[in-house]
Structure 1
Amino acid sequence: MHLRHSHLTLMGMTVALLCSAVSCAAASAPKLQGIYSNMEPSVEQGELIGIEIFILPHVRDDAVAYVALIQFADGLPMRPQLVDLSIQDDGISFSAVHPVEGEIEFTGSIDTEGLTGRFDALGEVSLPRGESIWQWGASGR
């Protein structure tokens, strides 16, 4: 009997360690959903400059998929647009319509700090994870 309990205790400890390792690995992977923004007001010129991307999950064909609400501002905020995201391994990509450049492609990745990548017509971009500029009034910024 004593040997049987030792075996069950060892198996229980093994399962607990395995579950702990899986949850730690899952916790270290950054979540895709969130707000990524480098949009800033230009106080001197009274303009708004930058890009804001809000990634949202949804269910499509019984699987989790993602869309992004994207807003460009080059003096004035442009109309936001909803685009489908393509997720590959550790990267994301999408197409959006820029008010000056027309249809542009983005390819990049997300980590705990934010979203980084390249718009084919605009170049490299780094958008920190955080609040939307449109939330600033609520947070006292």
Structure 2
Amino acid sequence: MTESEINQLDRPGNYKKRRTIIDSYINIIFKMMADGISDNLIYFYVISKGYCGKRKSLWNYIYCIEKNNYPARTPMNPKRIMEWVYPEDVIRIRRNGLLRYLLTVNPKTKKIAIFYKYHIPIVCATKTFIRKNTH
């Protein structure tokens, strides 16, 4: 390298700052993390303030900011947010399970125990209505 090229290395070039969709929310995320607020609350707060990008990328930004700037914080598990995993105490009844329960006439087939356990009134009324009108 010549002497002039070496001298040019002393002066860094002016590069444009890379613009992202999260730029207007970075201060909010940093301040909330400094206050010790959980990642889930930060995530939903940023969404409520009008974030319109991909939710996975928002979670990745929160995770990376936390990992790089606040190593003492324990990261939250994003599965409940990103993949909609229900808590263990929530019973989810799907439409096909409900229809299978309502339309099963053969007493030998196995029925879903959730409906027997909780005796949901509308399901019982619908079942009697279907039984009366199909026979």
What is the TM-score normalised by the length of structure 2? 0.22
- Bigger helix fraction: 2
Q: Which structure has the greater CA radius of gyration?
A: 2
- Bigger strand fraction: 1
